[in-house]
Amino acid sequence: MGILEKIAEIEKEMSRTQKNKATEYHIGLLKAKLARYRTMLLEPSSKSGGKGEGFDVMKSGDARVAMIGFPSVGKSTFLSKATETRSESANYEFTTLTCIPGKIHYKGANIQLLDLPGIIEGAAQGKGRGRQVIAVAKTADLILMMLDASKGEKQKELLEKELESVGIRLNSRKPNIYFKVKKGGGISFNATCKLTHLNEKLVYVILHDYKIHNAEVLVREDCTVDEFIDVILGNRKYIKCLYCYNKIDQISLEEVDRLAREPNSVVCSCEMDLNMDYLIEKIWTTLDLLRVYTKRRGEYPDFEGGLILRNNSTIEHVCHHIHRTLVDDFKYALVWGTSAKHQPQRVGLNHVVETEDVIQIVKKI
């Protein structure tokens, strides 16, 4: 039996045990056991159950939002308010021990919101359930960083550092560098713009340090050294982040005003229901989802339905949305809308669609 199951069992037994003088000792024992199992789960070295237990949540819906934050900042409170799923909230740390999914329905989109255990400094090294939490964060389209408004700045810095240390890059996009390791020919270095941080020699030195002696490098924007290294390593995750300052009922109006003006930030109070609609709206806009419409030959587009897609989706994504095997029968697509050069444009699977495009898929016969 896994630790989570043992915990669930004890909790069940506690709830069905009547509290009175006669059961006092029994309940005390259950409490002690519960505390021990919870501690085991949070210890990085715990063999049994420490791994990924409770984190294997299927991706579903049009986008995934993962809540990252220190313990007791109000993550579970938000999940319970914004979705139909209940997640226990309480005023002690590590109330949540697993990944709990909920659904936000908004403007026709189905957004998966994940409640996660709190993380603390050292999470990336495995403190608490940090490693598992961060692994889930890496799969998200948006990280909702929940902060306690009264301790926000410090928490924000620490969490950013934790995420940075495992290769997550928040609110930045992949540097515009073409980089390809070759079999021979040495290193060819070119830039299409003026570089103020990088130069040919530096690039050579860094590549040699990574034991790369043959490669093609084409720098298309004024990147920093760190950005260049990110490209060499190639395993970076570029994820959007929305900072949510919760518990604004605890701070002064001046402070609320100041936090609300920070970039990519929302202020709210999940408990007092302050600014919740705006927070959800902001999640939606930050996700930057797009809607396209499909049509059949000779018919009008279905403007009622429409498909919700992630930004930068292609015709191939559209096909997958319509039917899993449609790609196999795909011949070409006709596209009307802003992504088309002329109306309609005949395109292939790699064509990147834009919001409000109308698409007709033509199949092989």
Taking the C-alpha atoms of residue 170 and residue 156, their distance in angstroms, rounded to an integer, is 12
- Which residues make Cβ contacts (< 8 Å) with residue 119, sequence separation at least 6? 68, 69, 70, 127, 128, 129, 130, 133, 134, 159, 162
In this complex, which beta carbon is closest to K ion, that of residue 77 or of residue 294? 77
Q: Does 72 bind K ion (CB under 5 A)?
A: yes
Q: How far is the CB of 117 from K ion (least distance, A)?
A: 10
Q: How far is the CB of 159 from ligand GTP (least distance, A)?
A: 13
Cα torsion 59, 60, 62, 65 to 10°: value is -50
Taking the C-alpha atoms of residue 208 and residue 23, their distance in angstroms, rounded to an integer, is 69
Q: Does 56 bind ligand GTP (CB under 6 A)?
A: no
Q: Does 262 bind ligand GTP (CB under 6 A)?
A: no
Question: Interface residues with Mg ion (CB under 5 A)?
Answer: 75-76, 95-96
Taking the C-alpha atoms of residue 147 and residue 267, their distance in angstroms, rounded to an integer, is 9
Q: Which of 364, 283, 354 is nearest to 318 (CA)?
A: 354
| Binding-site partner at residue 269 among Mg ion, K ion, ligand GTP, none, CB < 5 to 8 Å by type | ligand GTP
- Which residues make Cβ contacts (< 8 Å) with residue 92, sequence separation at least 6? 72
Taking the C-alpha atoms of residue 279 and residue 20, their distance in angstroms, rounded to an integer, is 44
Restricted to residues 117-146, the positions that interact with ligand GTP (CB under 6 A) are 117-118
Out of 85, 171, 250, 345, name the contact with ligand GTP by CB under 6 A.
250
Restricted to residues 80-99, the positions that interact with K ion (CB under 5 A) are 95
In this complex, which beta carbon is closest to Mg ion, that of residue 270 or of residue 340? 270
| Binding-site partner at residue 112 among K ion, ligand GTP, Mg ion, none, CB < 5 to 8 Å by type | none
Q: Does 77 bind ligand GTP (CB under 6 A)?
A: yes
Question: Measured in whole angstroms, how far is the alpha carbon of residue 125 from the centre of its chain?
Answer: 20
Q: Does 54 bind ligand GTP (CB under 6 A)?
A: no
Residue ranges in contact with ligand GTP by CB under 6 A = 69, 71-77, 89-91, 93-96, 117-118, 246-247, 249-250, 269-272
